Amino acid sequence: MGMLTQLSNPARFLSVTRPVLPAAGVIALLCLGVGSWLAFFGSPPDFRQGESVRIMYVHVPAAWGALQTYAFVAIASLIGFVWRHRLADVAAREAAPLGLAFTVLALVTGSLWGKVTWGVFWDWDPRLTSMMVLAFLYAGYLAIWRVMDEAQAARTAALLAMLGAVNLPIIKFSVEWWDTLHQKATVIRADGPAMPASMLWPLGLMTLGYAALFVFVLLLRMRSALARRRAGVPARPSRAVLEPAPEVAS
Amino acid sequence: MKATAPSRRALPFRRRQRRALLLGLVLPAFAGATALAVTAISRTQVYAYAPSALPASDELAGRTVKLGGLVEEGSLRHGAGTEVYFAVTDGAATVPVRFDGFLPSLVAEGDGAVVTGTVSSDGTFEATLVAARHDELYMAPEVADALKSTGRYDEYVAQKRR
């Protein structure tokens, strides 16, 4: 907590993260570059899926990133809610669009792969449905920040983020708890990955690349949010206002 | 004035504790309520019926349901046009399926499938949609061929699948 308290000082945050930014950018570029090359040219097709297995190298890290980003948003929200650390609120707010992007990427690539493999673009199976709920949670979270004033939005959005975290175990274990069209976990399972090393390498590099890209973009967004605040630019991009509902004539 | 000074300084502390207490009550309560809902859904709803759990046609009264299981070995045959017949089994029971439409290329004997449709009065499952089920096993085709040539393919696949 000591380090977190120090980091919650915006000036200190800016100086500490300055060298992290280019480092994360370089790592992201390297991992995504080498990972993509391996994914396209340096890994075998699958014995049943054929070449469409390569969608997995984009889909799986995106889905993992979607869940990890939500966990990050929920924890930052908790710190912001209880300790009133403004920087934690900023971190949660600036991470959420990345989480939404990961979620949409996972849904779209999964849909394309599903058409090739299952024969359907979409199915209301527990894994797919809970993942779509995650996209709506992110969208709702971001909408709160757009329509409320900053102090009120921070509290309300934080509550939504924390309550919505119950969806994370549901997504993760949906394939264990229920019968699903979506397959069970391949990499993280008790008796080791059911995948050869030639596929695990590009998957691992892409996952690392996504994580580094997340750190890079998040820091960039947080730094510009702090700069905007210092310059006195209003944080709320929308002019929408919440009005009381009109009274219904009986 | 003197009496209010210490309490005012203590106020942020009390507020923080109150917020922490609020979360300490609300979050576990919400998680518990969700857990109960999830448990209730698990006990009363199925994504797809296993062949041995599929209700009879009069029980379903024409309702569209999903049937999930393995395509039985030796059961897949093509009729006129795009018509196709196969049987879905879970080891305990087998349901004959009739389907007229686009059959995904990964639907094969011995592999999983999820079939959507209705149960006719003679017990045949009239499918409107067939989806292939893909499992969690990934392998290079050369490795699969090598395993097949040494006759260890079925054993390996069964051991890796759960």
CATH number at residue B87: 2.40.50.140
Share of chain B above pLDDT 70, in %: 91
SS3 B65: strand
Answer yes or no: is B161 within a domain.
Answer: no
| pLDDT computed for residue B1 by the predictor | 44
Please compute the mean of the pLDDT values over residues A221-238 and round it to a whole number: 82
pLDDT of B4 > 60? The answer is no
| pLDDT computed for residue A151 by the predictor | 85
Are both B27 and B62 inside the same structural domain? no
Answer yes or no: is B80 within a domain.
Answer: yes
Are both B62 and B121 inside the same structural domain? yes
Number of domains in chain A: 1
Are both B20 and B91 inside the same structural domain? no
- 10 Å CB burial of residue A96 (0-12, 13-18, 19+) is buried
Confidence tier at A96 by pLDDT (50, 70, 90): very high
Q: Which domain holds residue B56?
A: 51-132
Please compute the mean of the pLDDT values over residues B126-133 and round it to a whole number: 94
Answer yes or no: is A14 within a domain.
Answer: no
Answer yes or no: is B155 within a domain.
Answer: no
Confidence tier at A188 by pLDDT (50, 70, 90): confident
CB contact under 8 A, B34 and A166: yes
Q: Which domain holds residue A145?
A: 20-227
Candidates A46, A171, A181, partner chain B, best to mutate (most B CBs within 10 A): A181
Are both B91 and B109 inside the same structural domain? yes
Number of domains in chain B: 2
Whether the CA torsion A61, A66, A67, A71 is positive or negative: it is positive
Are both B40 and B110 inside the same structural domain? no
φ, ψ for residue B75, nearest 5 deg: -100, -15
What pLDDT digit, counting tens, does each position of B27-68 carry? Answer: 999 999 999 999 999 898 889 999 999 998 888 888 999 999
CB contact under 8 A, B20 and A194: no
Q: Which has more confidence, B104 or A248?
A: B104
CB contact under 8 A, A183 and B136: yes
Answer yes or no: is A113 within a domain.
Answer: yes
Tell me which of B45, B64, B79 is where a domain ends: B45
Of A81, A123, A196, which has the smallest distance from its Cβ to B139's Cβ? A196
Cβ neighbours of residue B112 closer than 8 Å, sequence gap 6 or more: B68, B69, B70, B71, B132, B133, B134, B135
CB contact under 8 A, A78 and B144: no
Answer yes or no: is B151 within a domain.
Answer: no
Separation between Cα atoms, residue A61 and residue A44, nearest integer Å: 19
Please compute the mean of the pLDDT values over residues B102-122 and round it to a whole number: 92
Tokens standing for B34?
């969700």
What pLDDT digit, counting tens, does each position of A37-87 carry? Answer: 999 999 999 998 999 999 999 999 999 999 999 999 999 999 999 998 889
Are both B63 and B116 inside the same structural domain? yes
Answer yes or no: is B99 within a domain.
Answer: yes
Answer yes or no: is A45 within a domain.
Answer: yes
Are both B103 and B125 inside the same structural domain? yes
Answer yes or no: is A4 within a domain.
Answer: no
Which residues in chain B have Cβ-Cβ distances shorter than 8 Å to A129? none
Separation between Cα atoms, residue B32 and residue B13, nearest integer Å: 28
